[in-house]
Structure 1
Amino acid sequence: MSAINGVNFLSLKTWWPPHLVAQKHPSVTLSRKLATFLVALQLVRTFNRYISQKKQNNWVRARPWAASKELVLITGGSSGIGKQIVLDLAKLEVKTIIFDVQEPDFPLPPNVFFYNVDITSPIAIHEAATRAHHEHGDPTVLINNAGVGYMGTIIDEPESNIRRTIEVNTLSHFWLVKEFLPAMIKNDHGHIITIASMASFAGLGGMADYASSKAAVLSFHESLTQEIRHSYASNRVRTSIIHPMWVQTPLINDLLISCAQTRNAMLSAKDVSSAVLEQLVRGNGGQIVLPWWLGVASILRGLPIWLQEMVRDRYSRRIT
């Protein structure tokens, strides 16, 4: 058969590149070139991933993860993502302390301890940290997970909501790190993990305070990493930041109800917890985007302005 759907394949030489027409099997040549390109691309990606990981870890290995010797302190561990992280740590028999103003909505495992703490208050954090130190020792892992979020335009949203979002999502990180980082530096061992958001990279309509707080958290993570490396020369203290897309938690229930498209693209708390535990167990610092294929979002601000605005427009329309 010389023609399929009206295409005459006997006249290939009229549209096929001349240097391939002379070859007996041009498709084989193209396949080989494509395979070579894909292999080269994969090698570049692998090399880039290797160098990035080594640099983020200061070119030194962390001390081996020993579940029985680690002490994790997590904020906002009473529900949502924090609850899942606590339960997963408990399965690994890791001793865990929760700082939260909300009582846990689940029975605490034997190796999990709850402290009622207002993490927006430096005084409250210091008092709880002193008590935790006497009762359990110094945390080797700090997970800044607590977060709040409210939907509303800049004009309509109450001042109280805006202040609380910034205090919980951003300022609390300063007070907690000031309290627990010194012991990590002294022992040259520890890991500080921040739960951020894809909103770190893009501000959308209806969530100006939330996006601002997460962009600030990303800057905080970057500065903290530099200070640990250069101001304190503590090369085995790791810093990680996790940027999930929408996660199905009580925090975004209102958004789930109003936007079916968002609901269809939802991650689970388990997805985020798995990423956190992988960083801890492997002793790796760095930035993690969930799902992984959205990692390209980190280059958003490097795109032409018109393209940036098209991306923001698309996602703002989904939630406003």
Structure 2
Amino acid sequence: MNFLLETLQVLVLSVYFNLEAFLKLFIPSRKKSVVGELVLITGAGSGIGRLVALEFAPLGVSLVLWDISQEGNKETARLAKEKGARKVHTYVCDCSDKADVYRVADQVKREVGDVSILINNAGIVTGKKFMDAPDSLIEKTLEVNTMAHFWTYKAFLPAMMANNHGHLVSIASSAGLIGVSGLADYCASKFGAIGFAESVALEMLTAGKDGIKTTIVCPYFINTGMFDGCQTKWPRLLPILDPAYVAKKIVNAILTDQVYLLLPRAMYVLMAFKNCLQWNQAALLGLYLGVFDKLEECKAHQSPKKLC
């Protein structure tokens, strides 16, 4: 009897969820209020981190900005205050260092309070093929892009669980969904970040903590400087994304509790192809779209500013 009831429940809810998703294509989702929330952004001193902070600034939140660059962080704080941010707190933190993450997290909790929206944005890229990448840079990529998420979750998730309220945001990459030639360590780190975020989201669900939301962001290449020189064979299908546009989409996804945000929209179709095509066909499609050869034109580089 339980089997029949549970099966019926799954079928009914599946129809409901699919209908809900279809209606959202035509009816915009209602945005939640974030007034009074404490938003922490790693890698806030430049790029997407700074732009996301500026998008949140007029929404009545208090901002906690982490970056390894004190000057960049202070500039973001200044701009956020001009945009109307209630309170802005800046901290220098090296997200590749677990001890530093825990130290600064404890300082935030003492001086500011419990973080309710955590945005793991800090990231680096070596820009070297696997056999050419020094071990130290490979380790640094994984420490910043993946392991730092473990430590920030450990630091701030307990308070969210106690209150059954919060939002966990992972700024990952389309390279965390589809392997890319020449970005082995970067892809591995982003695959890891996505898998980690999904797993913790499921832990929260099974623990009954439905008030803790998750958003996983997977954009194509963004024109922020991390991938200088990147071009696209099909700019209408896979454009190099404008940072301001991406920041707006990220904040909108958070405000509407969107779990996955893939940019551009063509990424949803490409992911469907990846999951149903044979390996040779998928590789052929990647060559056709120019993902591999165009990447060779990139002048990807590691920047200390990307260490948070």
Instruction: Give the shorter-chain TM-score range.
Output: 0.7 to 0.9
From 293, 296, 303, the equivalent of 2:266 is 293
CA contact (8 A) 1:79 1:104 kept: no
The whole-number CA distance in structure 1 between the counterparts of 2:58 and 2:65 is: 16
Give distance in 1, aligned partners of 2:50 and 2:151: 22
Q: In structure 2, which of residues 248, 251, 254 is the aligned counterpart of residue 274 of structure 1? A: 248
Deviation, 1:86, is 0.7
- Name the counterpart of 1:12: none
Distance 2:133 2:244 in 1: 31
Equivalent-residue separation in structure 2 for 1:52 and 1:209 (angstroms): 37
Pair 107,196 (structure 1): closer, same or farther in 2 beyond 3 Å:
closer
Do the aligned residues in 1 keep the contact of 2:46 with 2:76 (CA within 8 Å)? no
Partners of 1:124 and 1:53 lie apart in 2 by 45
Structure 1 residues 139, 220: closer, same or farther in 2, change over 3 A?
Answer: same
Which residue number corresponds to residue 45 of structure 2? 78
The structure having more radius of gyration, on CA atoms, is: 1
1:184-210 deviations in whole A, cap 9, x for unaligned? 011011000101111112112111111
Residues 45 and 76, structure 2, Cα contact 8 Å, conserved in 1: no
| C-alpha spacing 1:53/1:74, structure 2 compared with 1 (3 Å) | farther
CA distance in 2, matches of 1:217, 1:45: 30
Match of 1:249?
224
RCO comparison, higher one (Cα < 8 Å, 6+): 2
Alpha-carbon separation, structure 2, partners of 1:271 and 1:292: 13
Alignment match of 2:209 (pick from 222, 231, 234):
234
Q: Do the aligned partners of residues 85 and 308 (structure 1) sit closer, same or farther apart at CA in structure 2, a change above 3 Å counting? A: same
Paired residues, what number?
264
1:159 offset after TM fit, Å? 1.6
Q: How does 1:93-132 map to 2 (within 5 A)?
A: 93-105=60-72, 106=75, 108=77, 109-110=80-81, 111-132=87-108
TM-score (norm 2): 0.79
CA displacement 1:132-155 (0-9 Å, x = unmatched): 112111010000100101211111
Counterpart of 2:262, as a letter, is V
Displacement after TM superposition at 1:262 (Å): 8.3
Counterpart of 2:192 in structure 1 is: 216
What are the Cα deviations for residues 178-234 of structure 1, in whole angstroms up to 9, with x where unaligned?
Answer: 11111101101100010111111211211111111111111112111111111x320
Deviation by residue 1:101-145 (Cα, 9 ceiling, x = unmatched): 122432523422210011122221121111111211101000010
Secondary structure of residue in 1 paired with 2:130: coil
Q: Structure 1 CA distance, aligned partners of 2:265 and 2:235? A: 18
Contact kept in structure 1, 2:232 and 2:291, CA below 8 Å: no
Contact 2:36 2:60 in 1 (8 A): no
Quote how far apart the aligned CAs of 1:312 are.
Answer: 3.3
**Cα RMSD, aligned residues only:** 2.6
Q: CA deviation at 1:281?
A: 2.2
2:175 is paired with a residue whose SS is: helix
Aligned to 2:158: 182
What is the rounded CA distance, in whole Å, between the counterparts of 1:266 and 1:153 in structure 2?
21
Native 8 Å contact 2:232 2:240 kept in 1 = no
Distance 1:52 1:225 in 2: 23
**Most deviating of 299-308 and 166-175:** 299-308
User: What is the rounded CA distance, in whole Å, between the counterparts of 2:143 and 2:294 in structure 1?
Assistant: 27
Deviation at 1:251, TM superposition (A): 1.3
Could you tell me which of 266, 286, 289 is aligned with 1:312? Answer: 286
Closer/same/farther in 2, CA of residues 268 and 49 from structure 1, 3 Å limit: farther
Q: Residue 169 of structure 1 corresponds to which residue in structure 2?
A: 145
Contact 1:201 1:297 in 2 (8 A): no
Tell me the distance in 1 between the aligned counterparts of 2:200 and 2:232.
Answer: 37
- Structure 2: stretches of 5+ with no match in the other structure: 1-13, 25-29, 82-86, 297-308
- What pairs up with 1:195-214 in 2 under 5 angstroms? 195-214=171-190
Percent identity, aligned pairs only? 30
Q: Which residue identity is paired with 2:265?
A: W
Question: In structure 2, what is the equivalent of residue 141 of structure 1?
Answer: 117
Q: Quickly say closer, same or farther: Cα 1:77–1:104, change in 2 above 3 A.
A: farther
For 1:240, give the aligned amino acid. T
Matched, 1:303 2:277: yes
Q: Secondary structure at the match of 2:125?
A: coil
CA distance, structure 1, for counterparts of residue 136 and residue 177 of structure 2 = 25
